[in-house]
Structure 1
Amino acid sequence: MSSTQETRTPWDAASVAEELLARERERREGGRLTDERPGLDLDLAYAAQDVYLARRVGAGKRLVGVKLGLTSVAKQQRMGITAPLTAWLTDAMELEPEQPVEVSSLLHPRVEPEIVFVMGERLAGPGVTTRQALAAVERVHAGLEVIDSRYRDFSFALPDVVADNASSSRFVVSPLSVAPDELDLVLEGCTLSVDGAVAATATGAAVQGHPAAALALAANALAERGLAIEAGQVVLTGGLTDAEHLRPGSVVTAEFATLGRVDLAGV
């Protein structure tokens, strides 16, 4: 630790949350918080997430669900973790189908395709299995998530991104829904296109081997904090591909084999 860090006040959950909320509000990117002061570890980062949510609810927003991040096993290994990250979704983040994104209101938005669950039952760990997680799902949708890190160049350490509510920004869910037993979630194919040109392809196996496995791990991780995934909540199970930049005038499309198509335009 540098002498500069040693003399600076360590981070606490409130100061972390307020700094990241200010960056979001002011559309101001910045450096890693882990480089600026000591004290920001994973436990504190999740505590900052909870402060973030409390501030949002206090401002009239409503909690609508949970998002998962780092659902790729390879990415988890690079970051030194064994389960996906969890973060919060509020109603202010949700876009209506066909509603465009005002790119200038964000910092450097990128879009990734998601398999989206809507929960029929409360899912609470510990010990939730993939089978149990899938049984709690009422319906499955196609979705697109807009991520928008408050860190310069999307450069962060693990506690930084957790504290930043896993780069949350916006999301859209397709109107079409499918019962979870009406498709093979592992083999469900997805093509991500930008302005009609294919950018990436993947299947549901890209998400922790099975999207419901990611859901189970998330429920178990939340249980360690005394939390659960509630009935009726939306769960973004994690990006199937790398995220593509969203620019004014561009359209990002996710075309799924069974779940249909969802589009997101930048303006």
Structure 2
Amino acid sequence: MSDENRAGRAADVLWRAWTSGVRIAALPDEIRPRDDAEGFATQLAIGGRAGRSYGWKIAATTAAGQAHIGVSGPLPGPLFERFRHDPGDLLSSDDMHMRVVEAEFAYLMGADVAPGAGRDEVLAAVDGLHLAVEIPDSRFERYETVGAPQLLADCACAGRFVLGPEVPGWAEHDLSRWGTAVWINGERAATGSGGNVLGDPRNALVWIAEDLRRHGRGLRAGELVTTGTTTAPVPVGPGDEVRADFGELGEVAFSFAG
């Protein structure tokens, strides 16, 4: 079986799990990705089933997150338009598996990032910064045990995403020191800061620019990159009201159906 056929068949299995809500223990042996490159090829194949992607997420940008899912570093995954939401939306709750929310900083790219671009060039390509909340999810019953290649195939636990407001004067703020909080039903559930994201969300953006190049891809103008959770993932359930508080920068609020 060709590598392309393996990736396509694995994508079919994962997409069926995604759309049905039925989780799987693991991909079948004959199509299970053997390394990160095959895992990434599978997530690209899922794009042919899920539709338009408007950017990237980064999973496991904290040491605790990496330890929890048994990986040695962050993982990239696509953001699909069909799972994108706006602040104030009511999100379905009956198909959630991981049942957590994450307060994040997301960069909007204003220019393509050239292969081999250095840190300054990557940051110069940014056009804006948004506040956001990711609702990650997985198609695996025990995502924390399946390993990096299968997690990459699973789009790095991509799920739904709420894109919040743009931050005026974003380049003036030191996000590595910027405090964040997540409130559930009017009670503070977690606090953190941009420093939890590889020390600085800008570090995460530079990281993914280099990692995508490793996979033969690159950041492009118009893409959004959400850089990873600033707090510990916060448990949620049906009927919960969520508010991610970024201080004077603003907030992102929405709720889950009961």
What TM-score does the superposition give when structure 2 sets the normalisation length? 0.89
Say which of 121, 127, 130 aligns to 1:138: 127
* Gap runs ≥5 in structure 1: 1-10
CA-atom RMSD in angstroms: 2.2
Aligned partner of 1:254 in structure 2 is 244
Distance 1:36 1:253, change over 3 A: farther
Tell me by how many angstroms 1:34 deviates: 7.5
Aligned equivalent of 1:147, options 119, 136, 157:
136
Instruction: Pick from 19, 28, 45 the counterpart of residue 22 of structure 2.
Output: 28
Q: Write the deviation string for residues 107-145 of structure 1: whole angstroms up to 9, x where unpaired.
A: 44321111111111212333532x332222111111101
Q: Secondary structure at the match of 1:171?
A: strand
Cα distance in 2 for partners of 1:47, 1:94 equals 23
For 1:92 and 1:109, the matched residues in 2 are separated by 19
Pairing of 1:51-90 with structure 2 (within 5 A) = 51-56=45-50, 61-76=51-66, 79-82=70-73, 84-90=74-80
Q: 2:112 aligns with which of 113, 122, 125?
A: 122
SS at match of 1:23: helix
Q: How does 1:159-178 map to 2 (within 5 A)?
A: 159-178=149-168
Q: Which amino acid in structure 2 is aligned with residue 145 of structure 1?
A: E
**CA distance change for structure 1 residues 188 and 96 in 2, over 3 Å: closer, same or farther?**
same
The number of aligned residues is 251
Partner Cα distance (1:76, 1:200) in 2: 19
Q: Per-residue CA shift, 1:17-63, capped at 9, x if unaligned?
A: 1111010111101213387876532221111011011222xxxx322
SS in 2 for 1:104: coil
Q: Identify which range, 207-216 or 256-265, moves more after superposition.
A: 256-265
CA distance in 2, matches of 1:37, 1:66: 24
Alignment of 1:98-247 (within 5 A): 98-129=88-119, 131-155=120-144, 156-247=146-237
Q: 1:44 aligns with which of 27, 38, 45?
A: 38
Deviations 1:201-241 (Å, cap 9, x if unpaired)?
11111101111111111011111222111111111111112
Percentage identity across aligned positions? 29
